[in-house]
Homo-oligomer: A and B are copies of this chain.
Amino acid sequence: MKFDLLRTDDRARRGRLTTRHGVVETPAFMPCGTQGSVKALSPAELREAGVAIVLANTYHLWLRPGPETVAALGGLHRFMGWDGPLLTDSGGFQVYSLAHLRKVTEDGVRFRSHLDGSEHLLTPEKAIEVQRALGADILMCLDECAPYPVTREVAERALDLTLRWAARCRAAHPGDEPALFGIVQGGVHPDLRERGARELQRLGFPGYALGGLSIGESKAQTAEVLAYAPELLPAGKPRYLMGVGAPDDLLEGIAAGIDLFDCVMPTRHARRGSLFTARGRLSIKAARHARDERPVEANCPCYACRTFSRAYLRHLYAAGEILALRLNTLHNVTYYMRLMAGARSAIEAGVFDAYRRETLAHLAAGPDDDGTPGGGTGADHA
Query: A-side interface residues toward B, CB under 8 Å?
Result: 35-37, 39-44, 60, 64-65, 69, 72-74, 79-81, 290-291, 293, 303, 307-309, 311-312, 314-316, 318-319, 321-323, 325-327
Contact of A319 among B35, B72, B73, B314 (CB under 8 A): B35
Residues of B within 8 A of A79 (CB): 309, 311-312, 315
State whether B318 touches A69 (Cβ < 8 A). Answer: no
In the bound complex, how far is the Cα of B294 from the Cα of A78, in angstroms?
Answer: 12
Given contacts A64-B318, A322-B325, contact A73 B39 (CB under 8 A): no
Residues of B within 8 A of A81 (CB): 307-308, 312
State whether B303 touches A44 (Cβ < 8 A). Answer: yes
Given contacts A44-B303, A291-B73, A308-B81, contact A36 B315 (CB under 8 A): yes
Q: Name A60's closest neighbour in chain B (CB-CB).
A: B319
State whether A42 touches B311 (Cβ < 8 A). Answer: no
State whether A322 touches B291 (Cβ < 8 A). Answer: no
State whether A322 touches B36 (Cβ < 8 A). Answer: no
In the bound complex, how far is the Cα of B321 from the Cα of A36, in angstroms?
Answer: 9
Residues of B within 8 A of A326 (CB): 40, 42, 322, 326
State whether A291 touches B321 (Cβ < 8 A). Answer: no
Residues of B within 8 A of A308 (CB): 81
Residues of B within 8 A of A307 (CB): 42-44, 81
In the bound complex, how far is the Cα of B69 from the Cα of A41, in angstroms?
Answer: 29
Contact of A309 among B41, B60, B73, B322 (CB under 8 A): B73
